Structure 1
Amino acid sequence: MTRVFINGFGRIGRTLFRQILTGDTGLDIVGINDIASLETCAYLLRYDSVYGPLPAEVVTGPGWIEVAGRRIAFSQQADLRALDLSGVDVVLECTGRATTRTVAEAGIDAGARDVLISGPSAAADATVVLGANDQDLGDARIVSNASCTTNAIAPLLRLLDLGLGIETAHVTTIHCYTGSQPTVDAPGPSPERSRAAAVSMIPTSTSAAAQVVGVLPEFRSRLSIAAVRVPCLSVSAIDAVIQTHEDIEQPVADFLKEALAESPLIGLTSDPCVSTDLRARPESLVLALPETMTTGPRQLRLLGWYDNEWGFSARMIDMARRMAARSGPLG
Structure 2
Amino acid sequence: MADLTKNPDLRSREKVDDYFGDWKWREGLAELMVPIIGRLYRNGINIMIYGKSLVNESPVDIMSAHRFVRQIEGNELSELETFPLLEHITTMDLPDCEIDLGELTMRCPFFKDLPNKPNEIDAYLRDQLNISSIKSSRPDKPQDIVLYGFGRIGRLLARMLVQTTGPGNYFRLRAVVVRKGGHNDLVKRASLLRRDSVHGRFNGTIRVDVENEQFVINGNPVQFIYANSPSEIEYSKLNIKDPIVIDNTGIWKDEESLSQHLNCGASKVIVTAPAKGNIRNVVFGVNDSALNKSDKIISAASCTTNAIVPVLKLISDKFGIDSGHIETVHAYTNDQNLIDNYHKGDRRGRSAPLNMVITSTGAVKAVTKAIPELKGKLTGNAIRVPTPNVSLAVLVLNLRNSIDKDNLNIFLKTSAFES
Does residue 180 of structure 2 align to residue 39 of structure 1? no
Match of 1:159 in 2: 314
Does residue 262 of structure 2 align to residue 108 of structure 1? yes
Query: Which residues of 2 match residues 58-137 of structure 1 at below 5 A?
Result: 58-60=206-208, 61-62=210-211, 63-86=213-236, 87-122=241-276, 125-137=279-291
Query: Which residues of 2 match residues 117-196 of structure 1 at below 5 A?
Result: 117-122=271-276, 125-138=279-292, 139-196=294-351
Distance 2:194 2:396 in 1: 41
Distance 1:102 1:235 in 2: 33
Query: Which residues of 2 match residues 265-304 of structure 1 at below 5 A?
Result: none
Distance 2:345 2:233 in 1: 38
Distance 2:155 2:335 in 1: 18
After superposition, give the CA deviation of every residue in 1:71-97 in whole Å (9 maximum; x if it has no partner): 211111112232222413310111111
Deviation at 1:103, TM superposition (A): 3.3
After superposition, give the CA deviation of every residue in 1:116-160 in whole Å (9 maximum; x if it has no partner): 001122166322222332243222101111111111122211110
CA contact (8 A) 2:250 2:272 kept: yes
Q: What is the identity percentage for the equivalent residue pairs of Structure 1 and Structure 2?
A: 31
Question: Which of 407, 412, 416 in structure 2 is aligned with 1:251?
Answer: 407
RMSD: 1.9
The residue identity in structure 2 corresponding to 1:131 is G
CA contact (8 A) 2:231 2:264 kept: yes
CA contact (8 A) 1:9 1:94 kept: yes
Deviation at 1:181, TM superposition (A): 0.6
Distance 1:226 1:236 in 2: 13
Change in Cα spacing, 1:56 to 1:209, as seen in structure 2 (3 Å) is same
Distance 2:383 2:373 in 1: 25
Please state whether the residue corresponding to 2:394 is helix, strand or coil.
strand
CA contact (8 A) 2:173 2:220 kept: no
CA contact (8 A) 2:146 2:175 kept: yes
TM-score normalised to structure 1 length = 0.74
After superposition, give the CA deviation of every residue in 1:240-289 in whole Å (9 maximum; x if it has no partner): 122211221671122223322235xxxxxxxxxxxxxxxxxxxxxxxxxx
Deviation at 1:100, TM superposition (A): 4.2
Match of 1:57 in 2: 205
The residue identity in structure 1 corresponding to 2:318 is G
CA contact (8 A) 2:311 2:412 kept: no
Mark the structure with the bigger radius of gyration: 2
Q: Give structure 1 stretches of 5+ with no counterpart.
A: 264-331
After superposition, give the CA deviation of every residue in 1:168-223 in whole Å (9 maximum; x if it has no partner): 22111111011011101111122211101111111111111211123223212221
Match of 2:174 in 1: 30
TM-score normalised to structure 2 length = 0.59
Greater share of helix: 2
Distance 2:288 2:349 in 1: 37
Larger RCO: 1 or 2 (CA < 8 Å, sep 6+): 1
CA contact (8 A) 1:104 1:123 kept: no
Distance 1:212 1:114 in 2: 23
Distance 2:278 2:338 in 1: 32
Please state whether the residue corresponding to 1:75 is helix, strand or coil.
strand
The residue identity in structure 2 corresponding to 1:42 is A
Deviation at 1:24, TM superposition (A): 4.6
CA contact (8 A) 1:124 1:142 kept: no
